[in-house]
Structure 1
């Protein structure tokens, strides 16, 4: 499974898988279904009020259809209702959030890709490209990721019971807070489950700087010891 490192609000990079072609197609179909429902409602209203000016109906139907994905991606931070239902999202290929310019570029090319040959061009581009990018993504420097739900760390997850007569290695650990411990635990999980050391190494340096700690202890051991020290000191 291909993954991409995405920067979180805590400036920690977390691995997310690229959205599958199936997820992207289903998200697209959900958006299409929403617009079909919208169209039926508009047509029903226009018939009930005996609308004479056909251009008004055409405008009310076509303008929202053309701008649908662009506006939703801008105001929903890379998602449309269909994308949200499928838990997928547009981000930059370097893992940072996409901006308005990126969405505009995707949208311009999408008008061609998604409406020519029933989206076959876009689908082939995603499959062949290797990074989950259609042509609009290639131009904008974006891709689409799968937002696998991140399980919140619980007290049971982060608590490591220290032994009797436990000796604290880093008394500065008491300066940490539960959010810090959750981030440390998450970085260790990523290293364990995905083999990605980047979050663990980044948070190790951040914590060392924050606490003023100098040690040659390997990062993984340092973080586990730090958790045990924190739990011991906060349980006194």
Structure 2
């Protein structure tokens, strides 16, 4: 199975397994079926209430309200459902940034704008590019810096409760934005903290700078090691509180 190397700093690499072209096609098919069912149901509703969509202002507004979500389906799903449409949810795959972090709104928007170029029903270039690229990315992914990965390789966590003993019920996380990090990134931080090599201090400094940028932490960090320990603890706290991190 192919794996994608994700750079998390100047000295470490993590691995994510990209979703295959077949999985993405099946997910896209499920999404298409869901949209068709939605259109059929709303059409029956409009016929039942006997509203003309073209002759009245109410009909026009109702048409926009009902069918604009169809046009923006993939964008809305990925923005509000952490990178997953209905099809991606069933296939257990999701959209992430190439560095393993959560995509921004602009990334999702760019993927959506390029969707007509990628879809098999239009030009179909997306499928060809997925087959040819190492990270199984369509054109929208390449432009947005995103990729689609298997859910089981995303924020998978295998730890015993003993590892969380220091997280008391009264623990208050300092950085709630750590939920945007991937488990692999947290593992890199933990390994660096536990490292005994000569470059440990340099690595801690590099990771701290990287995390400040990713998490938008603008205040000065006096104790970088304590900062990284806090990041790991906060992530573990949310992992226990929120099953979506598991």
Unaligned residue ranges in structure 1 (runs of 5+):
156-176, 182-196, 209-213, 217-236
Residues 55-99 of structure 1, C-alpha deviations (whole Å, 9 max, x = no match): 636535541111111011011111111111111111111222211
Which of residues 61, 72, 97 is equivalent to 1:92? 97
CA RMSD of aligned residues (A): 3.4
Partner of 1:35: 35
1:104 equivalent to 2:100? Answer no
Which of residues 136, 144, 152 is equivalent to 2:158? 152
1:206 equivalent to 2:193? Answer yes
Q: Scaled by the length of structure 1, what TM-score is found? A: 0.61
Counterparts of 1:98 and 1:46, CA distance in 2: 37
Q: Is the CA contact (8 Å cut-off) linking 1:89 and 1:145 kept in structure 2?
A: yes
Q: How many residues in Structure 1 have an aligned counterpart in Structure 2? A: 171
Which of residues 145, 158, 163 is equivalent to 1:178? 163
Q: Is the CA contact (8 Å cut-off) linking 2:120 and 2:127 kept in structure 1?
A: no
Larger Rg: 1
Counterparts of 1:48 and 1:133, CA distance in 2: 43
1:76 equivalent to 2:81? Answer yes
Unaligned residue ranges in structure 2 (runs of 5+):
167-183, 199-246
Q: Is the CA contact (8 Å cut-off) linking 2:53 and 2:63 kept in structure 1?
A: no
Change (3 A) 1:51 1:201: closer
Q: Is the CA contact (8 Å cut-off) linking 1:30 and 1:82 kept in structure 2?
A: yes
Q: Scaled by the length of structure 2, what TM-score is found? A: 0.59
